[in-house]
Amino acid sequence: MSGANKTVTPELVALIVDLLPTAGSLRGIGAITGLSFDQIRRESAPFLAIMKLAGTHPQCGCGKDRFHPYGCVDSQAKGARTVAERAPTAAEQKWSDRREAFVEMLVAGHRFVDIDKALGAFKASRKFLRFLSEDQIAQREREYARLAQCRNAKKEKPKPKPRVKKEKKQKCAPSRSEPKRPFSDGLYARIASAVPRWLSPALRDDVISDMYVAVTSGAMAADLVETNARKFASAAANQFETKYGPRSLDEKLFDEGGMTLGDTLVDHGASSAFAALDDMPLNRRRREAWA
């Protein structure tokens, strides 16, 4: 209230005493004097006690002393008359229109999710069921069942048959021989079982391939595979690996000089190319002439 901190003067106290016999409520006296409800109640308490002892205390419509705490039938009737007489505010009118929109869609049998989506609400339509009368609830149930049947009828429409794709004739591809797997060869499998497994996977495959080439070329008998397997593995490990891992091709062989491990590798393709050049007739005639 605007006069919540207003000072209570003797003139205001005299005005309160004059208004007590005719005023309908303490808040009405506060509206006239500009004082707060607590100030009116505190200042009027002794005068009301004197009036009660004298038998002049005003009576309420419910039969109790006027200004009694809590509401009663008389105060509710006054409040209802007051609300009916005044014009609704903008907020009250907006709420009334919104409630009518929800009630109208509920009675029409729409689903809650459709109502919320249409009116821009979030799970609010269910709360408006309490504003429906018994007749409106019965009408909603009928309309809801009718709309549900319509939705189910739409779902039961026959679906179009899926198109069957014609099988394309596969062209006959040329037959290709399957690649030969190493372990399908008995000799290769025998060598692989004999080579030690403490080598790295890459170096172990190289050792197996070298032994396989040696046996197939006739440089080593097949009976000596188990005997020479550890020798091949040790030679390869000394040449390409250490106990710490593979050796680098840039590793120097001697403390003095720049020769590296990569320099010791032999390119058999290059060697055969130089040999072919030596066998050419022109080069052979030159060598004979120089000799």
pLDDT in tens, 59-93: 887 778 888 877 676 666 555 555 445 677 888 78
DSSP state of 191: H
Q: In whole angstroms, give the CA distance from residue 90 to residue 253.
A: 99
Mean pLDDT lowest for which of 30-34, 82-86, 141-145? Answer: 82-86
Does residue 284 belong to any structural domain of this protein?
Answer: no
Select from 154, 171, 199 the last residue of a domain.
Answer: 154
> What mean pLDDT comes out for the span 265-284?
56
Give the chain's mean pLDDT: 77
Please state the domain count of the chain: 3
Q: Domain boundary at 61, 85, 109, which?
A: 85
Check whether residue 186 and residue 256 sit in a common domain: yes
Looking at residue 270, its pLDDT comes to 54
Q: Compute the distance between CA of residue 139 and CA of residue 105 in angstroms, rounded to an integer.
A: 11
> What is the Cα–Cα distance from 191 to 207, expressed in whole angstroms?
9
Please indicate, yes or no, whether residues 63 and 108 belong to a single structural domain of this protein.
no
The pLDDT-based confidence of 1 (bands split at 50, 70, 90) is very low
Q: Which helix (H) or strand (E) holds 242?
A: strand 241-242
- The three state secondary structure string of 37-68 is HHHHHHHHHHHHHHHHHHCCCCECCCCCECCC
Which one of 85, 107, 141 terminates a domain?
Answer: 85
Please give the pLDDT value at position 8: 85
In a domain, 161, yes or no: no
> Do residue 218 and residue 273 come from a single domain?
yes
Tell me what pLDDT residue 159 has: 64
At 260 the three-state DSSP class reads strand
- Residue 22 confidence (pLDDT): 86
% the chain with pLDDT above 90? 9
100-121 per-position pLDDT tens digit: 999 999 999 999 999 999 888 8
Residue 223 located in a structural domain: yes
Torsion over CA of 21, 24, 28 and 33, rounded to 10 degrees? Answer: -10
In a domain, 174, yes or no: no
Check residue 258 and give its pLDDT: 73
β-pair type (241-242, 245-246): antiparallel
**Both 27 and 54 in a single domain?**
yes
d(CA 113, CA 151): 15
Give me the domain span that covers residue 113.
95-154
The per-residue pLDDT for 184 is 74
pLDDT score recorded for residue 66: 85
pLDDT at 2 (0 to 100):
45
Query: In the numeric block, which tokens belong to residue 133?
Result: 């009368």
Examine the domain organization and report whether 188 and 266 are in the same domain: yes
CB-based contact 216:186 (threshold 8 Å): no
> Is there a domain that residue 70 lies in?
yes
My answer on whether 240 and 198 are in the same domain is yes
The percentage of residues in the chain with a pLDDT greater than 70, rounded to a whole number, is 68
**Domain-located, residue 21:** yes
The answer on 113 and 25 residing in a single domain is no
Quote the pLDDT of residue 3: 45
94 three-state secondary structure: helix
Residue 196 lies in a domain: yes
- How much is the pLDDT for 176? 56
Same domain, 79 and 102: no
Highest mean pLDDT among 49-53, 269-273, 287-291: 49-53
Residue of 54 and 86 predicted with greater confidence: 54
Query: Could you tell me if residue 198 is inside a domain?
Result: yes
- Mean pLDDT of the 16-31 span: 86
Contact of 92 with 100, CB cutoff 8 Å = no
Question: 66 and 113: one domain?
Answer: no
Q: What amino acid is encoded at 202 in this protein?
A: A
Write the pLDDT tens digit of every residue in 183-235.
678 888 888 888 888 888 888 888 898 888 889 998 888 888 888 888 888 88
Helical (H) or strand (E) element with 209: helix 201-216
- Which one of 4-8, 154-158, 219-223 scores highest in mean pLDDT? 219-223
pLDDT for position 138: 92
| pTM assigned to the model | 0.29
Q: Are residues 274 and 187 in the same domain?
A: yes
Question: Higher model confidence: residue 84 or residue 45?
Answer: 45
Query: Which pLDDT score, from 0 to 100, does residue 173 have?
Result: 54
Q: Are residues 68 and 117 in the same domain?
A: no
Choose between 180 and 212: higher pLDDT: 212
14 with 71, same domain: the answer is: yes
Nearest CA to 38 out of 8, 75, 61 is that of 8
Q: How far is the C-alpha of 229 from the C-alpha of 216, rounded, in Å?
A: 15
